[in-house]
Structure 1
Amino acid sequence: MVIDEEHDFARSGAPFRPAVRRKLSEQILGQFRELLESGRLGSGDRLPPERELARIFGVSRNSVREAIRALEDQGWVVSRRGDGTYVSDPGSVTFEPPLAGAVRSRRKRLADILAFRRALEPEVAALAARNATESELRRLAAVLAEQAESVEHGRDDADLDAEFHRLLARAGRNGVFLSVFTAVQDVLAECRAESLRGPSRRAVSLVSHRRILKALEGRNPEEARTAMREHLDAVEENLFSLPDLPDVDQP
């Protein structure tokens, strides 16, 4: 059975239901668990795309992405690039408590992603300081204004965070950097999972983004490079201070 992504699941009485706004990714994962263990989702079924699941659950795509990643870590689903996400053989895996499998290896994974970001994003910021147009600077400022509003009202700002960094990559005017950055967006999004973005991190990120933009507006590549490094330092400090991340050696 294949779940038709064009079908209106909400009106047709689909098995999914809106998630309560508490530990969203865990609640979404719990619903998948019920459906998989009951057989209402079976081996070979294709899940609706993230945007459709986010609409059904009434949450951000980031929350849906985190839950699906946990299912992948536990072997319940497999993602096929350019095709979709499919249910594996439920009889061949053991379902762990919500997010337990993902949390076990999360720290090392995040350290790897941050190492990659350190190698790429400071230079992207420096290039943007040299090459950004006035229109691009205004767009970056508008994104930060939206982010500030989200932070003030306690809303998830992951999409705005990602948009700020995407605009920086585009403003750098380096096609190779932009291609690499675009290709790894799903990987970079793991650093922005809702469970990893508490109020303090959102506020600190906003301050860091403003420093980066100020350097761009001053056309100062070295200041932009430094501001990005300090931003990534702050992200790392926040991530690895979380109590639910297991201890592993960092690179």
Structure 2
Amino acid sequence: MNEPTRQTTTMTNLSSHTLQQLEAMLSHPQWHNGGRLPPEAELARHFGVSRPVLRTALIALRDAGRIISKRGSANFVQPHTDAMQFGSGVQSLAINTVFDMKRCMRFRQIVECAAAEDAARIRDANSISKIELAQRKMDELLPGDHVFEADFAFHMAVAEAAQNPYFTFALGTMHNQIKLTVEFTRKLQDLPQDMVVPRVVGEHDRIIAAIREGNPAAAREAMNFHMKQSVIRLLGEDM
């Protein structure tokens, strides 16, 4: 075996071994909800390999959908949620990749836009009060409280205002998937879990205003804009 071939074989073996070590590391519970990997230089020192060897292993992880790259050279572990059973358990859905998140958000967009439109068409005063209350609770979160549950309560209130139990059922069954997606987005952006993003508040306010005015088209558009912005915040691209 000539020297170049021997070097290539050695690098391939090292990368394969490093990949196994990375996979073992990511199987630990601390990575279940995803997160930012240490810098490449730090990982290379930890595994005792060169950065080219490490990068080959990282590429394999990316190709497998286990990690994604964001903001230049930063690498993020894909979160994983336990399968959620529907009905008698004939089919299950789980968030394993960003592609899964995008499909979840696409379905959520369809459901929530229709719910917002119907809520504005019905324009029930009591339901609108509940939406406004949910928004106030989100605005008044205490330090350490998680934004997600308050945000989800707002969206559930909009769904309930449509007075169609299928909307609340569909959105309710997606709770775990949506939570994982939102929390992963916050990790990508380095946002504390108790920080209310002003842009999100503004988007909610436009939805409330359209429902309060009884304008179905504006309510649908406001919710559609909000859903699209959520995907942009996650992936940097539109649905």
After TM superposition, the score normalised by the length of structure 1 is: 0.52
User: What's the offset of the Cα at 1:81?
Assistant: 7.7
Counterpart amino acid of 2:232?
E
CA distance in 2, matches of 1:71, 1:118: 20
Shift of 1:106: 3.0
Q: With the length of structure 2 as denominator, give the TM-score of the two structures.
A: 0.54
- Give distance in 1, aligned partners of 2:81 and 2:175: 19
Secondary structure of the residue aligned to 1:215 is: helix
Aligned match of 1:232: 227
CA contact (8 A) 1:128 1:172 kept: yes
Indicate how the Cα distance of structure 1 residues 202 and 194 shifts in structure 2: closer, same or farther if over 3 A, else same.
Answer: farther
User: Which residue in 1 is equivalent to 2:152?
Assistant: 162
Q: Per-residue deviation at 1:79?
A: 7.2
Match of 1:216 in 2: 211
Aligned partner of 2:173: which letter?
A
Q: Residue 126 and residue 207 in structure 1: after superposition, are their counterparts in 2 closer, same or farther (change >3 A)? A: same
- Of the candidates 97, 108, 113, which is equivalent to residue 106 of structure 1? 97
Q: Does the 8 Å CA contact 2:115/2:167 hold for their aligned counterparts? A: yes
Question: Which one of the candidate residues 112, 115, 121 is aligned to 2:106?
Answer: 115
Distance in 2, Cα, partners of 1:236 & 1:178 = 21
**How many residues are paired up?**
156
Structure 2 CA distance, aligned partners of 1:79 and 1:117? 16
Cα distance between partner residues in 2 of 1:123 and 1:79:
24
Deviation string, structure 1 residues 146-172 (Cα, Å, up to 9, x no partner): 21223x957521001100111111110
Q: Gaps (5+ residues) in structure 1? A: 1-25, 33-68, 73-77, 83-101, 242-248
Q: 1:129-140 counterparts in 2 under 5 A?
A: 129-140=120-131
Q: Which consecutive unaligned segments of at least 5 residues does structure 2 have?
A: 1-25, 33-78, 88-94
State whether structure 2 residue 199 is matched by structure 1 residue 204.
Answer: yes
Q: Identity rate of aligned residues, in percent? A: 19
Task: Flag the structure with larger Rg.
Answer: 2
- Aligned to 2:214, what secondary structure does the other structure show? coil
